[in-house]
Structure 1
Amino acid sequence: MTTATTQTVTDELRRWIIAQAEAGCRPEDVVAAMMHSGWDENTAMTALETTLRERLDAVAAARQALPPQVPVPEPALAGSPPALLAGGHRVDVLVSMHSPRVVVFGGLLTHAECDALMDLARPRLLRSETVDNSTGGSEVNAARTSDGMFFERGETPLITRIEQRIAALVNWPLVNGEGLQILRYRPGAEYKPHHDYFDPALPGSATILKRGGQRVGTLVIYLNTPEAGGATTFPDVHLEVAPVKGNAVFFSYDRPHPVTRTLHGGAPVTQGEKWVATKWLREGEFV
Structure 2
Amino acid sequence: MSAAASHHITPAVREWIAEQARAGHSPQVLLESMKASGWEEDAAIEVLETVLRDIVEAHARQQALPSANRVPEPALNGAPATLWAHDREVRVVMALRDPRVVVFAGLLSDDECDEIVSLAGARLARSHTVDTTTGASEVNEARTSDGMFFTRGEHAVCARFEARIAALLNWPVENGEGLQVLHYRPGAEYKPHYDYFDPEQPGTPTVLKRGGQRVATVVTYLNTPLRGGGTTFPDVGLEIRPLKGHAVFFSYDRPHPSTRSLHGGAPVLEGEKWVATKWLRVGRFD
Between the aligned residues of both structures, percent identity stands at: 67
Match of 2:136 in 1: 137
Q: Which digits, 9 at most, give the CA deviation of each residue in 1:70-121, with x for residues without a partner?
A: 1000001110000101112010000000000000001110000000000000
Structure 1 Cα separation of the partners of residues 203 and 284 of structure 2: 19
Q: Which residue of 2 aligns with 1:215?
A: 214
Q: Which amino acid aligns with 1:229?
A: G
**What is the CA deviation profile of residues 133-170 of structure 1, one whole-angstrom value per residue up to 9, with x for unaligned ones?**
10000000000000000000010111111110110011
Q: Do the aligned partners of 2:60 and 2:66 also contact (CA within 8 Å) in 1?
A: no
Q: Which residue matches 1:93?
A: 92
User: Partner residue of 1:226?
Assistant: 225
Give the structure with higher Rg (CA): 1
Q: In structure 2, the residue corresponding to 1:124 is in which secondary structure?
A: coil
Deviation string, structure 1 residues 222-265 (Cα, Å, up to 9, x no partner):
00000000000000000000000000000000000000000000
- Please state if 1:182 is matched with 2:210: no
Unaligned stretches of 5+ in structure 2? Answer: 1-58
Give the structure 2 partner of residue 78 of structure 1: 77
Residue 155 of structure 2 is aligned to residue 150 of structure 1: no
Partner-residue secondary structure (3-state), 1:246: coil
Q: Judging changes above 3 Å, is the alpha-carbon distance between structure 1 residues 185 and 63 closer, same or farther for their aligned structure 2 residues?
A: farther
Match of 2:112, SS state, is: helix
Q: What's the CA shift for 1:63?
A: 3.6
Q: Does structure 1 conserve the Cα–Cα contact (< 8 Å) formed by 2:99 and 2:260?
A: yes
Separation in structure 1 between the aligned mates of residue 71 and residue 262 of structure 2, nearest angstrom: 17
Matched residues in 2 for 1:221 and 1:248: separation? 4
Find the counterpart in structure 1 of residue 199 from structure 2: 200
User: Any idea what the Cα deviations from partners look like across 1:6-30, whole Å, max 9, x if unmatched?
Assistant: xxxxxxxxxxxxxxxxxxxxxxxxx
1:169 maps to 168
Name the SS for the 1:139 alignment partner: strand
Q: TM-score, structure 1 length as denominator?
A: 0.78
Letter in 2 for 1:279: K
The Cα shift of 1:61 comes to: 9.3
Q: Are 2:259 and 1:260 equivalent residues in the alignment?
A: yes
Structure 1 portions without partners, runs of 5+: 1-59
Please list every run of at least 4 consecutive aligned residues from structure 1 whose deviation after the TM superposition is greater than 4 angstroms: none
Residues 61 and 97 (structure 1 numbering): CA distance in 2 closer, same or farther, change over 3 Å? closer
**TM-score, L = length of structure 2:** 0.79
- Residue of structure 1 equivalent to 2:249: 250
What is the aligned length?
Answer: 229
1:62 deviation in Å? 8.2
Tell me what 2:27 maps to. none
Change over 3 Å in CA distance of 1:69–1:61 after alignment to 2? closer
Contact 2:93/2:105 (8 A) holds in 1: yes
